[in-house]
A and B are shown apart, each in its own frame.
Chain A
Amino acid sequence: MDYRFEKEYGCLVLRMPEELDHHQAEFVKEEADGLILKYPVRSLIFDFADTRFMDSSGIGVIIGRCKNVRFSGGYVKAVNLNGQIERIFRLSGLKKIIEVE
């Protein structure tokens, strides 16, 4: 998974995979948690620019990481959602939990 950490803002941007299903979710969780431990993250951005598909497994990935970052007072946002992913966010109520841009 590609990512970048903007030191100045404490901002970790995670580039989500092409397909965020149960199979990919396992890798993303592990890698994301490693990065959250490694860097002093004040805001976490999930970037869906490359993602064409997401199912309910993706919801667990996002909520789980939200908890980890918010525990230390951090802020979470999701960006660049396509129509299918936007619908998943809306139907699951994820849109009410985290900011979407």
Chain B
Amino acid sequence: MEGFRNEMKMEFLAISSNEGFARVAVGAFVSELDPTVDELADIKTAVSEAVTNCIIHGYEQKEGNIWIQCSILGKMVEISVTDTGKGIKDIALAREPLFTTKPELERSGMGFAFMEAFMDEVEVVSEPWKGTCVTMRKVIGESRMA
């Protein structure tokens, strides 16, 4: 399994009905690593948060596309979720738990906190009016060895 490598890319419209599609597609791709039920739930939740952010914040529920690139290297899964929306002004602030720019939409401000809790690493690259790319990594099977 050490040198095992696989990769996939997908592009879809930034509409809320694609949130379910995106997390299920990534979940299916990752399933060949034989993740536990919890690991799979972690990945799906993290993808759902990232995609929801693109739709609500990146594009503010207007038209746009979302790209997901997912690769498997040995037991590590790397997932990048990219939009070309409005970007994040202050990334450190956006990542703070409970911080939200959209309280009127009853957003909880827990999106990034969940990505961080459920994945091993989360990297955010963003530029105002160019877009945002969130890259998340997780090693599968670690919890079983512990």
Known: A22-B52, A56-B111, A91-B117. A61 touches B45 (CB 8 A): no
A57-B109 Cα distance, complex, nearest whole Å = 9
Interface size for chain B: under 10, 10 to 19, 20 to 34, or 35 or more residues? 20 to 34
Select from chain A the residue with minimum beta-carbon distance to B111: A56
Interface residues on A, range: 20 to 34
What's the Cα separation between A25 and B45 when bound, in Å? 15
Tell me whether chain A's interface is mostly helix, strand or loop, or mixed.
Answer: helix
CB distance from B33 to the nearest CB of A (A): 19
B49→A84 contact, CB < 8 A: no
Known: A19-B20, A23-B20. A55 touches B49 (CB 8 A): yes
Does A63 belong to the interface (CB within 8 Å)?
A: yes
Within 8 A of B (CB), among A58-101: 59-61, 63-64, 83-84, 87-88, 91-92
Q: Identify the A interface with B (CB < 8 A).
A: 19, 21-23, 25-26, 29, 53, 55-57, 59-61, 63-64, 83-84, 87-88, 91-92
